[in-house]
A = this chain, B = another copy of it.
């Protein structure tokens, strides 16, 4: 394993320290809870929005704390949900009279940690609602899973509720808005390589020189199938087919309509998993864009880059998120967060 690391156990704290040093005035770092929080939060005019999740997905979520996005992120160690007391501690520091929205990617570990934390926060009279994100179509719902996984699509959920919170939306409004975005967002990923958590020191999985993992999870969970490497266009076609044909279960036996049909407008995201250069992401974007337009789906805006990664994993995910006039406005509203170019 070759990485820029000192003590592997201090990997996450040292990264968090760097984020805070790089963005004074914007965010601060609370070591006790692995917490990166806005310096101007909590605000009595704004619901506080908190993400937990594991580390290793940067810029999600510690680098998207700031105006128009998150009030705080308190990740666990690499690929591990935060322990309960990070969530409790972060929520107490960020408690707002308008309430707290927890955004939780739908993994058992995250769900349970937030659930336990919420039992404790309830007891202390802190008002919390929880928004689950489960945009990944790779894991088909079935009786034997705990539902779908939350992956890069959470960017759209956070962007929408972050912008709305800034405008003073209530906790219930944010919850409803977030659920709507989540329902309109579907993702699918593919890995060309594994990645190595610093504390583990070994790749979480290994692929042969001609193998890919189609439908991979952002913690390296195996996906739909291990397959032979094919061309970029063939991989894109398979991912788009999975996304466009998906009928996400809603309540009971019901299933949602496919995410987009001819005439619909979408945001199209090509998200790098960490080790794939942006040149390849744009190559993939070009093909995906043309394939969707062929089907009459209109691309409203592109999102190409790294949004939710798996350390240095080579691979990418494609996300389609259906937009309407309200969402477009929210997506274009201003932000001020650590991850930026200029």
Contact = CB atoms under 8 A, between A and B. Distances in A.
A275 interface: yes
A58 interface: yes
Contact of A276 (B278, B281, B312): B312
Interface residues of A, number: 68
B2 A286 contact: no
Interface stretch (A129-137, A146-154, A302-310): A302-310
A2 B331 CA distance: 34
A228 to B, nearest CB: 11
A15 B282 CA distance: 5
A210 B2 CA distance: 7
Contact of A2 (B16, B18, B193, B341): B193
B4 A289 contact: no
A314 B316 CA distance: 17
A72 interface: no
Contacts of A2: 192-193, 207, 209-210, 212, 229, 314
Most B CB within 10 A of own CB, among A14, A17, A193, A276: A14
A140 interface: no
Given A6-B231, A18-B283, A212-B2, A331 B342 contact: yes
A277 interface: yes
A279 B339 contact: no
Given A2-B192, A283-B15, A306 B289 contact: no
A37 interface: no
A170 interface: no
A339 B5 contact: no
Given A3-B280, A58-B279, A18 B289 contact: yes
Contact of A279 (B15, B281, B287): B15
A285 B22 contact: yes
Given A21-B286, A304-B22, A279 B341 contact: no
A52 to B, nearest CB: 17
Contacts of A207: 2
A21 B58 contact: no
A245 interface: no
Contacts of A307: 341
Given A339-B305, A339-B341, A342-B159, A4 B276 contact: yes
Given A6-B231, A277-B311, 16 more contacts: A3-B192, A3-B232, A4-B235, A4-B281, A5-B231, A6-B233, A11-B283, A15-B286, A18-B285, A18-B287, A18-B289, A19-B282, A21-B289, A22-B282, A275-B275, A332-B342
29 contacts: A2-B210, A3-B192, A4-B235, A5-B280, A11-B283, A15-B279, A15-B282, A15-B286, A18-B281, A18-B289, A21-B299, A22-B282, A22-B286, A22-B304, A23-B302, A55-B279, A58-B277, A58-B279, A58-B282, A63-B278, A159-B342, A277-B312, A279-B311, A304-B338, A305-B340, A335-B342, A339-B341, A340-B341, A341-B341
Interface of A: 2-6, 11, 14-19, 21-23, 55-56, 58-59, 63, 159, 192-193, 207, 209-210, 212, 229, 231-233, 235, 274-287, 289-290, 299, 302, 304-307, 309, 311-312, 314, 316, 331-332, 335, 337-342
